[in-house]
Each structure stands twice: as C-alpha cells, then as structure tokens.
Amino acid sequence: MVAFGRRDESEPVFSVTPYEVSGEVDYDRLIRQFGFKTINENLLNRLASLAGDLHPLLTRGVFFAHRDLDVLLDTVERGGEFYLYTGRGPSGHVHIGHMVPWVLTKWLQDRFKVRLYFQLTDDEKFLHRREMRLSEARSMAVENALDIAALGFNPELTLIFRDTDLIRVLYPVALKVAKRLTLSTVKAAFGFSDETNVGLTFFTSIQAAPAFLESELKGRPVPCLVPLAVDQDPHFRLARDVAPKLGYPKPSILHSRILRGLRGEAKMSSSDPRSAVFTTDSPDEARRKIMAAFTGGRPTVREQRELGGNPSNCAVFEYFRALFEPSDRRLEERRLACVSGNLICGECKAELAERVTKFLVEHQRKREAVRDMLDRFMDPAKFGL
C-alpha cells in the first residue's frame, strides 16, 4: 500500500502504510483500491446473532471494512473453530488511538471465548527506528503489555508475546512465508527502496506468522481473524496472497479507521506528545492536550452559534464516537448540538477531558494491578509453545 499519487488535481495525496500515514485518509478510495469490502447490514446481523450483540465500534463504522469476514462467519455458523490475532509495535507508550482495535478484539474474545495471539513487534520497531536500541524496544514492549493486559483480556486464552521471545516458534513459519515473497512484492506493498535495511524487508514474514500459527501447530486449517488499524493491512494482503500456497487458510481481516491526532494530523504520533493522550499521561496532561485539540469548530463562538460546528472533521467528536460515549442516543444528541451551534467546542472538550481523565485513572490502576499477572499473559507454555 504505497503512497498514493494524485489521479487528477481534485484527488488529494495521502499515504497509508505501516511506516507512513499522512494526508487526509480517503477510506472509500482505500476500499476501492485494495479490494476491501464494507461491513454491511447483513454481515452485522449475522455477527450479532452469533455474538448476542454488536460493539459500537462496528455499528458506528469505526471498523469500516473487512476481508473475508463472511468466510469466517460461515465457519462460526457451522460450529467451526477460529482464533484472534492482533498486535502492537512498541515504539513508545500506548496512546488512546492504539486501543481501538484492541477494544474490539477483547469484545470478540469475550463473546466467542477463543484464543488470542497478541504480537509485540520489538524486532520491527528496532529495525525501523534509527536511534532505538533493541533493549529499548524489548522494555517498551513490556510496558505496552501492561496496557494490553489492563484491558481485561482472558489471561488463559491470551498470549502476549515479544517477537524476540517467541522467535523459535515464529521463525519456521516466517521462513515459509519469506520464501514466497520477492523483494519487488514487499517494495510495492510498503514503499521500500534499495536503501531499506534487509531486516525490515524480511519483517513482514514475522508479522504474517501468527496468522498461520494455530494451523501449523494443530496440523489442520484453523481460521484466524485479525482486527487491525487499516495501516497494517499491507502485511496481511501479502500474508493472504501466500496462504493458499502454504496450505493455510487466508486470515480474515477487520479494518478500523485511524483516529486522527489531537492536532488534526492523519494519525496520532508517538513522537509528538501533544498529538495524542497516552495511557501514562497524568490527568492534568491529558486535560491540557484535549483542551488544545483540533476541532471542527468555527474561529469564533459567534460564528459557531450561527453556523454550527463540523463533527465529521473533529478529533474530539471522533474520540467520543470511538471510545468515550457508550450511548448511541447521547452521541447523536452531541452531534446535533454541535451542528446546530448549541454546543461550543470549549464545553465539548471539557466533557471529553472529564471522561478521558476518568478512564486514565481507572486504566492506570488496572495497569498496576496486572503487573503480577504479566508472566501468565506472556507464558507461551499455556498454548503448548
């Protein structure tokens, strides 16, 4: 998924790869260009009748596209098994945007009681970040694992692992993938050049491996469902291409939108601390960042009262929609209050700050509470590995 060129002057340039997200992301164009399918009513109904309900991230379109979710639902409807796989690149602390796919993954695990492989790509972040030492990536991975465990995954059904720890298991599968991927293919998918290092071009094989691991271990095809932020799709586009050649089922994918940065950027940035609320921020820091956030508001309160705001281009509304307003009704009330000019950005931000800081206090407490359980989460023996 290389950077997009403009087809004509009216189409803005944007880029969505694991190594660059920039510009105003056009989700419809992503769907067209990469052959995703939209998550339609029929699929949501099928999922609802299997799961008992639907998560707001699905009904509100934060998860906006999929690959072969229908195939996975066929399997589940027939009583077949599947497992979940998602991940995190431990380049720094976790921010709110990272949690979107994890929250849906937890919901899926709760509903279907299935295994989850949670990959921490310490190898990738070391390879990608010029100044990062491997020991730093490994330490940060453990920090991130605390945030993941704090979300309440089932410790018996969830294996959180660093690539460098599980490499003995991943490597043989990764080799099979790597043998089927040429340099041309990964260059095209990730926008790599001959100046890219040989570790990063190999890495996609390591990210593919967990999508095939249960099939490999059990010696029979076990379908895998991967909820992810859409910038990670290129890894799985390649993994899906090689899967049939290796006798594995193609992983099914659920794509989430990328929460924009608090300053309006295409993606929250770990390198600009003002761009995101991190799980390790103090409530005060979080409040300050949110109060300074980019919104869809007007330059002045008077204009806002007269013309209304634009919640569809607003980082603050996006936070409410994705994670901080459980009630559909109240979310719609907030939207209407914004567009009608009744709700001023200052108020709206203060209300978000209230909810985010409350979440942070609770999350940080849980994050400490799971510290003693981390060994259980990270013990591959429970999966027979």
Q: How many Å apart are CA 363 and CA 361, to the nearest integer?
A: 6
Residue 300 binds to a copy of itself (criterion: CB under 8 A): no
Look at residues 219, 218, 240, 220 and name the one whose alpha carbon lies nearest to residue 228. Answer: 240
Residue 197 binds to a copy of itself (criterion: CB under 8 A): yes
Contact string (CB under 8 A) for a copy of itself, positions 104-143, x = contact:
-------------------x--xx------x---------
Q: Which of 4, 192, 319, 324 binds a copy of itself (CB under 8 A)?
A: 192
Q: Which of 41, 195, 372, 375 binds a copy of itself (CB under 8 A)?
A: 195
Q: How far is the CB of 130 from a copy of itself (least distance, A)?
A: 9
Q: How many Å apart are CA 36 and CA 96, to the nearest integer?
A: 25
Q: Which of 157, 167, 217, 374 binds a copy of itself (CB under 8 A)?
A: 167
Distances (CA, A) of 170 to 136, 162, 164, 279: 21, 11, 9, 29
Q: Which of 198, 220, 271, 372 binds a copy of itself (CB under 8 A)?
A: 198
Look at residues 311, 360, 353 and name the one whose alpha carbon lies nearest to residue 332. Answer: 311
The window from 46-54, 187-195, 267-275, 377-385 that contacts a copy of itself (CB under 8 A) reads 187-195
To which H or E segment does residue 147 belong? Answer: helix 134-150
To which H or E segment does residue 37 belong? Answer: strand 37-38
Q: How far is the CB of 125 from a copy of itself (least distance, A)?
A: 11
Distances (CA, A) of 373 to 42, 145, 153, 157, 368: 40, 11, 11, 13, 10
Number of residues that bind a copy of itself (CB under 8 A): 35
Q: How far is the CB of 77 from a copy of itself (least distance, A)?
A: 35
Distances (CA, A) of 296 to 1, 182, 217, 257, 356: 29, 44, 50, 18, 19
The window from 81-89, 94-102, 165-173, 292-300 that contacts a copy of itself (CB under 8 A) reads 165-173
* 165 residue type, one letter: D
Interacting residues with a copy of itself between 201 and 260 (CB under 8 A): 201-202, 204-205
In the bound state with a copy of itself, the residue whose beta carbon lies nearer, of 123 and 233, is 123
Contact 335, 317 (CB under 8 A): yes
Residue 294 binds to a copy of itself (criterion: CB under 8 A): no
Residue 182 binds to a copy of itself (criterion: CB under 8 A): yes
In the bound state with a copy of itself, the residue whose beta carbon lies nearer, of 146 and 177, is 177
Q: Hunting for tokens 């000019």 — which residue is that?
A: 341
Residues forming the site for a copy of itself (CB under 8 A): 123, 126-127, 134, 164-165, 167-168, 171-172, 174-176, 178-184, 186-187, 192-202, 204-205
